[in-house]
């Protein structure tokens, strides 16, 4: 089935999220929609799927204009969508989820579960999904849950399948499996719209690429285009994708986490006996799929989560019983995971946000009164230093783009002497140019002698920044490996495979593919990991 958008526009009040977007997805084509977070990709897909009504333009299927009053209409027309956040009922079985809303019935109006199971087995066998129809969804790994979503769409005879940021919660191995599934679907004649901001995946699987920026189509590209060329299209200027950083020269341990355990509000242990050290003058990146205890770990370091057990020290000082203010005063910088909720006050000005956690200290306050001239001078200096795009230091944070808000957060946290900097998902939602800037600031903090701990789910970022890489899975520290460790090793560790076993499995995998050079690299990385482990002991 051919899908065409003809000058489709979608507005929310005075804001135009999609501005006269036109593109064509051919039958049996994988068409990638590439753009940064906030570019308008998901809005466009939700409009195609009937969740939003367009304010202008047309949607055509096989050259015939169509109009959808809701997702049901879109599904009946042959359009399926796998949302970034899965729409599954955890306590239902796979079969129950697949037929939910279109249940097959037998005599007396009773749901025909047997028929539902058969449909799941048929589609699972056809595309090699290997899904048990009687498994509870809550017991399945994330990659398998995504396959259930795809089966659900295909069971409704979807000819066009929309995948919205489908790799955001997957390990590298699960991403490879998804790409293989997409190719099999394509061979069976399904048209796929693949929405992402990850350049490597686009080049691996797309037949055609459309790039969206600020709600508009700004160009198309051939899959043979380089990542640099695609990135330039996304942000409208040339960018450097790598991180230019000299070799680290770490000193002694500056931040130490010893036997840390944390329970959530329901009393469930989400961080389990984690021990990790970060040395002065190095960047340790904590990798893992989102939701494996990273958030609770970083919040415990700041002091807003009370650990059930364990100890946190910084610069030799025990922080475990100290409050947030005392930790900040001791030299801790913190960039939170959600800047809009925890990092800034949207209705405060740039001037005010730059001193949120230092407003009562000298030189910004004297005798309980704010020194406004010093505050404004400080803001003017930091806006220039961090290239915050603004017309005035009196602008509110709500009026700034996500990238510029993050620059304000970084300017605030890096503006005083730091023993350690903790940053959680620091580039989420930023364009490629802003990411380039943020990475440079972390390297500068490292080179100034701070211990830098970064939490990231983006594997490219993990590999670009980490002098050492720690991996968490299910609340536990799986292992610590050298920076630059093979992607397959990291992916296996993110799935819970211990480091030693991950090296062996990755080496075996590359040997099967005939990759001798990669085997040599894995061996070298393994030796470094073993040496550092012995030194730590």
Domain membership of residue 378 (yes or no) is: yes
- Helices H / strands E in the chain, number of each: 18, 24
Domain membership of residue 398 (yes or no) is: yes
299 with 426, same domain: the answer is yes
Residue with tokens 């099999």: 184
The pair of three-digit structure tokens given for residue 327, joined into one six-digit string: 């930790």
13 with 103, same domain: the answer is yes
Band of pLDDT at residue 386, cut at 50, 70 and 90: confident
pLDDT, one tens digit per residue, over 1-25 is 899 999 999 998 888 999 999 999 9
pLDDT, one tens digit per residue, over 396-438 is 998 887 778 888 999 999 888 899 999 998 887 676 777 888 8
Of 213, 235, 257, the position where a domain reaches its end is: 235
Band of pLDDT at residue 513, cut at 50, 70 and 90: very low
Query: Cα(301)–Cα(312) distance, rounded to whole angstroms?
Result: 7
**Burial (0-12, 13-18, 19+ Cβ within 10 Å), 190:** buried
The pair of three-digit structure tokens given for residue 203, joined into one six-digit string: 């080049």
CB 532 within 8 A of CB 519: no
Structural domain that includes position 17: 3-235
Pick the range with the lowest mean pLDDT from 195-209, 308-322, 440-454: 195-209
Q: What percentage of the chain reaches a pLDDT higher than 70?
A: 92
The pLDDT of residue 253: 96
156 with 54, same domain: the answer is yes
Higher pLDDT, residue 67 or 416:
67
Q: What is the mean pLDDT of residues 161-175?
A: 80
Q: What percentage of the chain reaches a pLDDT higher than 90?
A: 48
Domain membership of residue 507 (yes or no) is: no
**Residue 241 clears pLDDT 80, i.e. is over it:** no
Q: What is the DSSP string of 208-276?
A: EEEEEETTEEEEEE-TTS-HHHHHHHHHTS----S---PPP---SEEEEEEEEEEE-TTS-EEEEEEEE
The pLDDT of residue 39: 80
96 with 146, same domain: the answer is yes
The pair of three-digit structure tokens given for residue 455, joined into one six-digit string: 């939490």
143 with 49, same domain: the answer is yes
Neighbouring CB atoms inside 10 A of 428's CB total: 18
Of 235, 258, 281, the position where a domain reaches its end is: 235
To the nearest whole number, what is the mean pLDDT of the chain?
Answer: 87
379 with 463, same domain: the answer is no
Band of pLDDT at residue 526, cut at 50, 70 and 90: low
115 with 199, same domain: the answer is yes
Domain membership of residue 503 (yes or no) is: no
Q: Specify the number of domains making up the chain.
A: 3
The pLDDT of residue 53: 94
The pLDDT of residue 534: 47
CATH of the domain at 27: 3.40.50.300
The pLDDT of residue 165: 81
215 with 245, same domain: the answer is no
Domain membership of residue 495 (yes or no) is: no
Query: Cα(306)–Cα(439) distance, rounded to whole angstroms?
Result: 30
Sequence-distant (≥ 6) Cβ neighbours of residue 11 within 8 angstroms = 17, 55
196 with 246, same domain: the answer is no
Q: How many Cα atoms are found within 13 Å in the side-chain-facing hemisphere of 433?
A: 15
**Residue 537 clears pLDDT 50, i.e. is over it:** no
The order of strands in the sheet holding 451-456 is 332-335, 420-424, 451-456, 282-287, 468-473, 476-482
- DSSP annotation of 89: -
Neighbouring CB atoms inside 10 A of 35's CB total: 27
Domain membership of residue 459 (yes or no) is: yes
Q: What is the mean pLDDT of residues 265-292?
A: 92
315 with 457, same domain: the answer is yes
**Residue 51 clears pLDDT 90, i.e. is over it:** yes
Query: What's phi and psi for 178, nearest 5 deg?
Result: -65, -40
The pLDDT of residue 4: 96
Highest-scoring range by mean pLDDT, 114-123, 132-141, 232-241, 276-285: 276-285
Of 416, 437, 454, the position where a domain reaches its end is: 416
The pLDDT of residue 176: 84
Sequence-distant (≥ 6) Cβ neighbours of residue 266 within 8 angstroms = none
70 with 107, same domain: the answer is yes
Domain membership of residue 282 (yes or no) is: yes
186 with 305, same domain: the answer is no
The pLDDT of residue 192: 94
**β-pair partners for 93:** 136
pLDDT, one tens digit per residue, over 451-466 is 999 999 888 889 999 9
């Amino acid at each position: 089935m051919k899908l065409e958008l003809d000058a489709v526009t979608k507005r929310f009040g005075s804001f135009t999220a999609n501005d006269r977007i036109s593109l064509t997805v051919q039958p049996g084509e994988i068409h990638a929609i590439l753009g940064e977070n906030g570019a308008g990709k998901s809005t466009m897909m939700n409009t195609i799927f009937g969740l939003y009504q367009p304010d202008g333009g047309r949607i055509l299927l096989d050259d015939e204009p169509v109009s959808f009053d809701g997702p049901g209409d879109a599904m009946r027309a042959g359009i399926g969508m796998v949302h970034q956040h899965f729409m599954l009922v955890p306590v239902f079985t796979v079969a129950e989820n697949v037929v939910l809303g279109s249940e097959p019935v037998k005599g007396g109006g009773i749901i025909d579960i047997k028929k539902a199971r058969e449909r799941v087995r048929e589609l699972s066998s056809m595309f090699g999904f290997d899904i048990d129809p009687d498994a509870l969804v809550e017991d399945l790994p994330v990659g398998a849950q995504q396959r259930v979503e795809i089966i659900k769409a295909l069971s409704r005879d979807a000819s066009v399948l929309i995948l919205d940021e489908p790799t955001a919660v997957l390990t590298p191995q699960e991403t490879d499996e998804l790409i293989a599934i997409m190719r099999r679907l394509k061979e069976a004649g399904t048209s796929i719209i693949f929405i992402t901001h990850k350049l490597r995946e686009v080049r691996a699987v797309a037949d055609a690429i459309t790039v969206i920026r600020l709600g508009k189509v700004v160009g198309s590209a051939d899959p043979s285009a380089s990542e640099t060329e695609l990135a330039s299209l996304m942000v409208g200027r040339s960018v450097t994708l790598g991180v230019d950083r000299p070799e680290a020269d770490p000193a002694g341990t500056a931040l130490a986490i010893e036997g840390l355990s944390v329970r959530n509000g329901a009393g469930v242990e989400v961080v389990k006996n984690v021990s990790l050290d970060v040395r002065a003058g190095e960047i340790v990146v904590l990798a893992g799929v989102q939701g494996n205890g990273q958030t609770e770990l970083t919040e415990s370091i700041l002091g807003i989560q009370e650990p059930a057990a364990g100890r946190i020290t910084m610069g030799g000082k025990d922080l475990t019983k100290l409050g947030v203010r005392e930790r900040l005063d001791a030299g801790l910088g913190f960039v939170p995971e959600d800047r809009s909720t925890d990092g800034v006050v949207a209705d405060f000005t740039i001037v005010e946000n730059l001193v949120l956690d230092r407003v009562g200290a000298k030189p910004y306050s004297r005798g309980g009164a704010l020194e406004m001239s010093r505050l404004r001078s400080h803001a003017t200096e930091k806006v220039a230093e961090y290239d915050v795009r603004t017309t005035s230091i009196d602008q509110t944070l709500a009026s700034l783009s996500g990238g510029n808000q993050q620059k304000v957060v970084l300017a605030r946290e890096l503006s005083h002497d730091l023993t350690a900097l903790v940053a959680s998902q620091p580039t989420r939602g930023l364009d490629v140019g802003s990411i380039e800037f943020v990475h440079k600031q972390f390297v500068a903090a490292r080179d100034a002698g701070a211990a830098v701990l970064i939490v990231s789910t983006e594997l490219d970022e993990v590999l670009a920044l980490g002098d050492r890489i720690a991996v968490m899975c299910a609340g536990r520290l799986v292992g610590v490996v050298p920076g630059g460790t093979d992607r397959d090793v990291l992916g296996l560790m993110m799935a819970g495979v211990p480091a030693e076993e991950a090296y062996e499995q990755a080496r075996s995998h590359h040997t099967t593919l005939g990759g001798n050079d990669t085997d040599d690299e894995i061996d070298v990385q393994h030796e470094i990991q073993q040496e550092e482990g012995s030194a730590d002991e």
